[in-house]
Structures are given as structure tokens and as C-alpha cells.
Amino acid sequence: MATVFIQKRKRKNRNSYAIYFKDPDTGKNKYYKTLPKQKEAQQTANDLRALLDLGRLPEVRKEKKKLRPLTFAEIAQHLEQEWNERLVNRKIVETTFKDYTLRLRLTVNEFGTKLMLEIPGKEILDYRNWLAASVSNATSNRYLFIVKQVFKKALGLKVIPEDPVSKIQYLSEKEHERNRYILPFEIDKLVEASQKTRSKFYMPALIYLGAEHGASRQEVLSLHWSDIIFDFDSIGLIRFFRTKNKKERTEFLMPRTKEALLNWKSHQEWMRHRKKIEVKYNRFVFCRLNGEPIKRFDSAWNRICEIAGIKDFHYHDLRHTFCSNLLLSGSGLKDVKEMIGHKDISMTDRYSHLPRQHRKYRQKQLAEHYANRS
């Protein structure tokens, strides 16, 4: 006789009865159907048993799978674990992992306790627009990317039936690009200001790397001493690798940058000798005395800008300063593209207005020359 059994399911207001049978071919239990009354379920089970005894298999309905009621914070935990595995397998770098997880935790503060099923697309759209209005389009896009990853993960875990944010578009960042830059005398002011702070030994090197080589924050913090050859052709070479676009570039060391780096290296060695600190792997240029890499320098940077009297100036703006001063000194856009490490000339086009300013700058110099005639 065929095996058929009924499973009672308790509900708040009423019970239901799910009917299962053992497949004679595979020996596995299969779901048949669910009925609201026990008598109907018993009769259906008897009919099914008779059908199976005749050697006929019924048409099986697929049992509806319930969506798991998980919160945004719970899905975020799954996502962070996935990113951590990718970090271990070297599919993403540590800087990217930290950047992702920081933004993920901030979005958890916003949506953490809410069930994924109860978060509508409009709420995410409003969040995107609020970030764009209060911070910038670029920041808004970065947080939208994280939220999209959470919903994509939820869809994969069958927590939501569909992704309500997949069609929410990223905002254009072209109109909101920062082109803030400073002139040579202001770079000098930053270096002078750094000498009035506790960061006076390493900050000049960071400033010159940004202003004279266009190095980004990630490039300087991941820089190794092995990336620098001080005695190459009596000038020196330095290699940068930008994880954002996987672009590597090698440049001759600018004199002030070379001097600042050597001073910082000398200071490190002197302090380690003085405090009897042994460092087995002295890889990172910007690190603590024990060799642990410096992760941030925001406080030191903000203090230096405050002392120098330079407002609304980010460390990344030194990268714009490098490009802008290259053009003002007579270089072309193609030169800037190669030296900064842009993949596409369109990324360098934001500086196309500077050749005109270069002429204005030269004319101002000429006017001052005539004004100071003896």
C-alpha cells in the first residue's frame, strides 16, 4: 500500500492540513496539497493512496515557500561576512573592505531594525535624494551602492520576492565634481603650518606627495619603502598603485618630496633607536614606530588647514592642485592624464578651463613686472 500522510499545521485563527506521499520511484516524501478541513484532507489522502496503488503518480503542486522575515541589519551581517571572505581570498583589498563596511554600518543605523519586506523603494529613493542635497551626489551614490548590495543579498537569500531598488538610478556626479586647488605659495603655507603641530615630521611628505605627485589618500597610505628608489639617477623614483582603477604609475621624485621623505625616514629610525623598538617588517612609509600602518590623518590635516587659514580644502584636493598647477605651468591635458594616472582623457577634461587662467596668471605676472619697474 502506498504511503500517504497528513501534517497538521497550527495557525492563529484556524488550522490547515498538508498532504504528503512517498514517491515510489525515488522513495522521497513529496508535497501534494494543503486543505483547510481535516475531513477533506482525509478523503483526499484516501483518493491519493488509491491512485498510487494503481501505479499512477499525481500532479504535484509546488509548496509555497515562505519568505524569511529578516531585518536590514541581519542581511547586512550576511553581506559583511561575504565581503570578509572576499578579502581573505584577495578578491578585494583591505581599503575597499573597510570603506564598504563603514558605509554598511552607517546604513544599518538608518534602516537596521526594519524588515526587508517592509522597506519600499520610495524610502530608499528619498534617502538617496536627502544625501545628495545634504552632502553631495558622489556620497549619495556610494551609499546607494551599499543599499543596493543589501537588497541584492536579500533577494538571493529569498527574503524578498523582488528587488525594489534595482531600478533606482545613480545621480550624475559631473556637475558636482570638486575642482578646488591651491597655488604654490599656499602649499608652502600648509607645510609651514604643519611645523606647528604634532604631525610635523610626516605631514610635509604627505603634502608634497599630494601636491607634487597627485597621490591620493589611498596611494600614500599604502605606499611601501620598496616603492621608492632614492638614489636612482641621482633624482629618485617612486611608484604608485591606485586600487580604484588598478592603475600603476612611476615618476621621478620631486626634490622637495624626496627631502621630506628622507627626513621622515631618518626621524623614524632615530626614534626607534632611541626607544629600542625593533620592527621586523618595516614596509609602510607612513606607519607608527612599531610598523603598524597609519589608517587616517584627518585630525592632523584639519588642524593644519585651520592654522594655514585655508578653508574647505580636503586632502584629495591636493590631487586637483597637482593637475591644475601642471596646466598653469604650461603642460597639456594629455601630459596631465598620463602623470595623474587617468584611464580616460574625459576625466582630465574638468581642467580644460585652466589654460585660460594660465594666460591670465602670466598676464598678472607681467603687470606686476611693469608696476615694479625701476
Total domains present in the chain? 3
Question: Is 157 a domain residue?
Answer: yes
Residues 226 and 326 in one domain: yes
pLDDT tens track for 339-365: 777 666 556 666 555 555 555 666 666
312-339 pLDDT tens trace: 898 988 988 888 888 777 776 677 777 7
Q: What residues pair up with 228 in beta bridges, in sequence order?
A: 238
- Is there a single domain that holds both residue 125 and residue 192? no
Evaluate whether residue 147 is within a structural domain. Answer: yes
Same domain membership, residue 189 and residue 49:
no
Give a yes or no: residue 280 inside a domain.
Answer: yes
Which CATH number is 94's domain given? 1.10.150
CB 68 within 8 A of CB 160: no
Backbone angles phi, psi at 126, to 5 degrees: -65, -40
Radius of gyration for the chain, computed over Cα atoms and rounded to the nearest angstrom: 32
Same domain, 192 and 327: yes
Same domain? 224 vs 172: no
Given the DSSP bridges, would you call strands 4-9 and 16-22 parallel, antiparallel or unpaired? antiparallel
Q: Are residue 137 and residue 276 in the same domain, yes or no?
A: no
d(CA 131, CA 12): 43
Same domain, 209 and 332: yes
Predicted confidence at residue 64, as pLDDT, reads 54
According to DSSP, the residues that pair with 335 across neighbouring strands are none
Which CATH number characterizes residue 267's domain? 1.10.443.10
Structural domain containing residue 40:
4-53
Q: Which of 147, 176, 205 delimits the end of a domain?
A: 176
89 burial level (CB within 10 Å; 0-12, 13-18, 19+): exposed
Are 121 and 168 within 8 A, CB to CB? yes
| Same domain flag for 332 and 194 | yes
3-state secondary structure of 367: helix
Q: Establish if 278 belongs to a structural domain.
A: yes
> Does one domain contain both 221 and 358?
yes
251 and 160 within one domain: no
Q: Is the residue at 358 inside a domain?
A: yes
Q: Which of these three, 117, 151, 176, is where a domain ends?
A: 176
- For the chain, 374 residues long, give each residue's pLDDT as a single digit of tens: 788 889 888 876 788 888 888 888 788 888 888 888 889 999 998 888 888 888 787 776 555 556 668 999 999 999 999 999 999 998 888 888 998 999 999 999 999 899 998 999 999 999 999 888 777 788 889 999 999 999 999 999 888 989 999 999 998 876 555 678 888 899 999 999 999 999 999 999 999 999 999 898 889 999 999 999 999 988 999 999 877 667 788 999 999 999 999 999 999 999 999 999 988 777 899 999 999 998 889 999 999 999 999 998 989 889 888 888 887 777 766 777 777 776 665 566 665 555 555 556 666 667 776 777 65
- Residues 210 and 311 placed together within one structural domain of the fold: yes
Q: Are residues 197 and 239 in the same domain?
A: yes
Nearest alpha carbon to residue 268 among 249, 285, 251, 247: 285
- The residue count of the chain comes to 374
